[in-house]
Amino acid sequence: MYAYVLRRLAATIPVMLIVAVLVFLMLRLTPSDPAAIIAGDNANSEQVAEIRNRLGLDQPILTQFVIWMGKLLHGDLGESFFFKKQVAELIADRLEPTVSLALFTIVLAVAIAVPLGVLAAYRHGSWLDRIVMGFSVLGFSVPVFVIGYLLIYVFAIELNWLPVQGYQRIGQGVGGWLQRLILPAMTLSVVLIALIARITRTSVLEVMNEDYIRTARAKGQTESRVLVRHALANAAVPIVTVIGLGVAALIGGVVVTESVFTIPGLGRLTVDAVLARDYPTIQAVILLFSLAYVLINLLVDLTYTFFDPRIRY
Amino acid sequence: MSVEALPAEIAEVAPAARRPGTLRIVLRNPSVLIGATIVAFLAIVGVVAPWLGTIDPAEINPVFRNKKPGVERTIRGDDGKETAFVHRFGTDSLGRDVYSRVVYGARVSLIIGVTVAVLSVAVGLTIGLIAGYIRWLDGIIMRVMDGLMAIPAILLAMGVVSLSRAGLLAVVIAIVIPEIPRVVRLVRAIVLSIREEPYVEAAITVGTPTPLLLVRHVLPNTIAPLIVQGTFICGSAILIEAILSFLGIGIPPETPTWGNIMAEGRSLFRIHPHNIFYPGVCLAFAVLAINMLGDGLRDTLDPRFAKRV
């Protein structure tokens, strides 16, 4: 098992290395000179040359890459052009809102989608099944920000139940933190619910005809126990897989949702960085999100042994 | 292509009693029918936008700013005649007619969706064929594709957009790049399974040159899955364009796209939700229709693929 974990961890290194090369090349492909951007509009050519020398931009591209990677591995993500701060500091500052939102969303989505999917499979062909399936097609198609504004309009403006926008750090009180996360998390969970409910329904449907389900019923188990202990437990692997893949949609959604609800997280930072052409920050955010995506999917693979003990590594 | 355009010899060879044509089978599927109808409707709306009671979508009117839907005003034409005009969907904060912008927005969105789908399928097909047929390049290409796939699509698109000035071409390229690896993987998987088929081995045995082999035997097998994939790409491209424009990093704001109309409506959303509501509904409808079309096409054209997923 440990050997397998190590092997899988090692296998993510080439992928991340390629992501790093792509992200590095991205900056070199810019039509503009990073040194000139940092120097500002009033700099003379000597100042630009001085900055270029300081950043190592006058070195051959391979040397630059090695230096950049070396710094990266030491946690040095460079200095932001726009915020004039260390990128690592910027990111650390923006991490909490994004992680809160993402975790809250995943919990909410799983809590809603899995029971819905199981019920849809159990009442296969009923109106409930049709509603769940219809919702899952709809959930893929309605853009995140439209859902966000719809929820704001209904719950914050018309009903006045929840705050419209903003974020409160968890350190300043759990109540306010939770209150401000409900709408964004609901917004963001729609796509995930669509995705997870659909897969849950399909994979539960697949196992419902198995012999062990009939046996469980024959020995007099309650329907709910049959569904959870026998059907869902055996249908779990595709469900966790799709949750892992859904993280990509989640990350994309985070960027949009944070803009809709003005949450000062990594997504908002990404948009601001793109608007300001702040390349070190853009690079760092892309690397970070990709790493998170790859690692979460590795984690998902590792949970397979838990959900299906027949799988051995 | 119409039947008349077929070369004479092919038309002659066609058997007298034909099984129902592919088009007929496809059109019998309800989700294809519904999806295709809505998409066709939006395409027609996009084409005839100037004749749908619209005015210039870029025309700014400082007097008529932020008006509720249904407000009326008079327009003086070039000949000096005054006609009444109703802002059906209201006006935005620059006094532009939201109805006209939404109608013209259909045009831009569909153009982007189709362009992105065609480009990513074309590029992905080429790279996929190369990866599937040239062994030593396969490893390199697929590792690069793995790297691209590890970057969430919207972030990759945002990164590419940041490299150049905002414009239609930059946005199209930014949306195409994240879609390419998905097409490459699909094509490569098909090539790898097709090359084991007896008829391909037979073709190799009789000395068919590789390019001819690819065109004659491998390419036709990729058409159905690529049509399905292309449809889904079209839908997601429209969505990503709207997201980029909404965030203010997409197509320049004066161009009427659904994302831009919504971006413009953000600041005054509390008082004037219509600026977000109308384009949002259109966008959702368009993407829903395209996804339904894709689902239906997958079930009818590519049953093997439908079972796999």
For residue B148, give the CATH number of its domain. Answer: 1.10.3720.10
Assigned domain for B211 exists: yes
User: How many domains does one find in chain B?
Assistant: 1
Amino acid of residue A181: L
pLDDT of B309 > 50? The answer is no
Tell me which of B24 and A218 has the higher pLDDT.
Answer: A218
pLDDT of B3 > 60? The answer is no
Dist CA A258 CA A268 (whole Å): 6
Range of B139's domain? 30-64+93-301
Long-range contacts formed by A150-155: CB under 8 A, 24+ apart = A150/B280, A151/A183, A151/A186, A151/A187, A152/A183, A152/A260, A152/A261, A152/B269, A153/B269, A153/B273, A155/A183
Specify whether the CB–CB gap between A251 and B155 falls below 8 A. Answer: yes
Q: Which of A19, A137, A256 sits opposite B150 (nearest CB)?
A: A19
Closest alpha carbon within chain A to B156: A286
Assigned domain for B197 exists: yes
* A18 close contact with B: CB closer than 8 A: yes
ipTM score of complex: 0.82
pLDDT of A216 > 70? The answer is yes
Q: Chain A window 118-157: which residues touch B at a Cβ cutoff of 8 Å?
A: 137-138, 140-146, 149-150, 152-153, 157
Cα-based torsion angle of the residue sequence A297, A298, A300, A306 in order, rounded to the nearest 10 degrees:
170
pTM value is 0.83
Tell me which of A89 and A39 has the higher pLDDT.
Answer: A89
- Judging contacts by C-beta atoms under 8 Å, the chain B residues touching residue A15 are 143, 146-147, 150
Q: What is the mean pLDDT of residues A278-295?
A: 87
Residues 6+ apart with CB under 8 A from A130: none
- Judging contacts by C-beta atoms under 8 Å, the chain A residues touching residue B249 are 271, 274-275
Specify whether the CB–CB gap between B178 and B257 falls below 8 A. Answer: no
Specify whether the CB–CB gap between A114 and A240 falls below 8 A. Answer: no
Q: Which of B146, B262, B281 sits opposite A15 (nearest CB)?
A: B146
Whether residue B276 and residue A277 make contact (CB cut-off 8 A), yes or no, is no
- The pLDDT of residue B308 is 43
DSSP string, A269-302: HHHHHHHTT-HHHHHHHHHHHHHHHHHHHHHHHH
Q: Which residues share a beta bridge with B75?
A: B83
Average pLDDT, chain B: 79
Q: Which residues share a beta bridge with B86?
A: B72
Whether residue B158 and residue A271 make contact (CB cut-off 8 A), yes or no, is yes
Assigned domain for B20 exists: no
Work out how many CB contacts closer than 8 A connect A with B: 132
Dist CA B50 CA B34 (whole Å): 26
pLDDT of B88 > 80? The answer is no
- The pLDDT of residue B1 is 41
Whether residue A294 and residue B150 make contact (CB cut-off 8 A), yes or no, is yes
pLDDT of A54 > 70? The answer is yes
- Judging contacts by C-beta atoms under 8 Å, the chain B residues touching residue A141 are 235, 239, 284, 287-288, 291
Tell me which of B135 and B21 has the higher pLDDT.
Answer: B135
Assigned domain for B217 exists: yes
The tokens for A222 are: 């309650």
Q: By CB neighbour count within 10 A (0-12 exposed, 13-18 middle, 19+ buried), where does B92 fall?
A: buried
Whether residue B158 and residue A146 make contact (CB cut-off 8 A), yes or no, is no
Dist CA B69 CA B309 (whole Å): 44
Assigned domain for B11 exists: no
The answer to whether the Cα torsion of B153, B154, B155, B156 is positive or negative is positive
Tell me which of A179 and B62 has the higher pLDDT.
Answer: A179
Assigned domain for B73 exists: no
Closest alpha carbon within chain B to A249: B152
Out of A41-55, A101-115, A227-241, B145-159, least confident range: A41-55
- The pLDDT of residue B66 is 66
pLDDT band at residue B184 under the 50/70/90 scheme:
very high
Dist CA A294 CA A286 (whole Å): 12
CA distance A101 to chain B (A): 17
pLDDT band at residue B19 under the 50/70/90 scheme:
low
Q: Chain B window 199-258: which residues touch A at a Cβ cutoff of 8 Å?
A: 235, 239, 242-243, 246-249
- The pLDDT of residue B176 is 93
pLDDT of B303 > 70? The answer is no
The tokens for A184 are: 């964004």
Specify whether the CB–CB gap between B132 and B196 falls below 8 A. Answer: no
Inter-CA distances, B36 with A80, B3, B119, B294, Å: 48, 22, 21, 10
Assigned domain for B57 exists: yes
pLDDT band at residue B122 under the 50/70/90 scheme:
very high
Give the residue among B40, B98, B68 at the shortest CA–CA distance from B278.
Answer: B98
- H helices of chain B, in order, are 8-13, 22-28, 30-47, 98-133, 135-150, 153-161, 168-194, 198-205, 210-213, 219-246, 258-265, 274-301, 303-308
